[in-house]
Structure formats: structure tokens, C-alpha cells
């Protein structure tokens, strides 16, 4: 584990750069995490996606499936990758402060 300053807070990050305390998340933290994923400026579209993920997580304690995310935000999958080049799981979920999605079995 590593402690880094993000958005004015000292935060614990795992080796993939996901924050360890979902409660510590705020918009400044999100903007700082976005920079680590190659997103220098959070546009309205970025926020729309991140807020959707965040709200879904707060309601269901898990990340939505990708197709659901696309359907409910109206973004096509390639648009999600244009917004977050490292993809919805590694990119958008990280910026939204979600626990790390579990990968391949």
C-alpha cells in the first residue's frame, strides 16, 4: 500500500492506484485520480459517467455490468473508451472511487 496526496487528501492506494477507503472520495479526489488515468480535464461527459457509477455503487454496493452502464448513460462502449482510455473498469471505476472490479478468474 502506498500513501499519496490526491485532491488535497492523504489517501491510501493499492498497487493499481485504486483508493482504499471509498468514503474518502470527493470530486477533487476524482479529478486527481483521473489524471493518473490519462484524463487531464474532467468534462461534463466524464462527470456524467463517474456520477452514474458512483450512484450505482452507493445504491447497490457494486459496479454495474458494462452493457447496463452504456444503456443507462447513453454512451456507446467506444465513447466510454474515448473518455477513459483505460476503459470502464480500470479507468472510470477508479475515478469514481469504487473497489477494484475483480478481473479474470
Partner 1 sequence: MEPSNTPLLDELEEGQWPSFVAQLKQAAEKSPAAADLLRQVERSYADNTGHWKRGGIVGVRGYGGGVVGRYSSLPEEFPGVKEFHTMRINEPAGFFYTTEKLRQLCDVWDQYGSGLLNLHGSTGDIILLGTTTENLQPCFDALTEVGFDLGGSGSALRTISCCVGQARCEYACIDTMDITYDLTMHFQSDIHRPSFPYKFKIKCSGCPNDCAAASARSDLAIIGVWRDAIQVDPQAVRQYVADGLNIIDQVVRRCPTWAVEWDAQTQELKINDADCTHCMHCINQMPKALRVGKQQGATLLVGGKAPVVKGAQIGSVLVPFIEMQPPYTEFKELLVKIIDWWAENGKNRERIGELIDRLGMAAFLQAIGRQPCAQMVNAPRANPYLFWKSEEVQQNG
Partner 2 sequence: MAKNDIGPPNYRDMLPPIVRENYGRWRQHTIPQPGVLCHTSESGAVLTSVRVASPRLVSTDWVRQICALADQFCDGHIRFTTRHNVEFLVSEPAKVEPLLERLEAAGLMVGGVGNAISNVVHTQGWIHCKSAVTDASGLVKAVMDELHPYFTGKRDVPARLRVAVACCVNMCGACHCSDIAIVGIHRTVPRINHDMVSKSCEIPSTVASCPTGAVRPNPKLKSIDIVAEKCMYCGNCAAVCPAIDIMDPVNDGVSIWVGGKISNARTAPKFSRLAIPFLPNRPPRWPEVVEAVKNLVEVWRGNAKPGERMGEWIDRIGWERFFKLTGIPFTDKHIDDFTHATTTFRSTTQFRF
Residue 48 φ/ψ, nearest 5 degrees: -60, -45
Nearer to partner 2, 7 or 99 (CB): 99
Contact between 21 and partner 2 (CB under 8 A)?
A: yes
100/97 Cα distance (integer angstroms)? 9
Nearer to partner 2, 2 or 14 (CB): 14
Contact 19, 11 (CB under 8 A): yes
Contact between 22 and partner 2 (CB under 8 A)?
A: yes
Q: Is 70 annotated in the active site?
A: no
How far apart are CB 92 and partner 2 at their closest, in Å? Answer: 15
Amino acid at each position: 500500500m502506498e500513501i499519496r496526496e490526491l485532491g488535497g487528501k492523504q489517501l491510501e492506494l493499492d498497487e493499481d492506484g485504486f483508493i482504499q477507503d471509498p468514503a474518502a472520495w470527493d470530486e477533487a479526489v476524482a479529478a486527481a485520480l483521473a489524471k493518473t488515468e490519462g484524463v487531464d480535464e474532467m468534462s461534463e461527459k466524464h462527470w456524467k459517467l463517474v456520477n452514474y457509477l458512483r450512484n450505482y455503487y452507493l445504491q447497490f454496493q457494486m459496479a454495474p455490468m458494462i452493457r447496463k452502464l452504456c444503456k443507462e448513460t447513453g454512451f456507446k462502449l467506444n465513447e466510454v473508451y474515448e473518455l477513459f482510455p483505460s476503459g470502464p473498469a480500470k479507468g472510470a471505476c477508479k475515478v469514481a472511487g469504487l473497489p477494484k472490479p475483480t478481473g479474470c478468474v
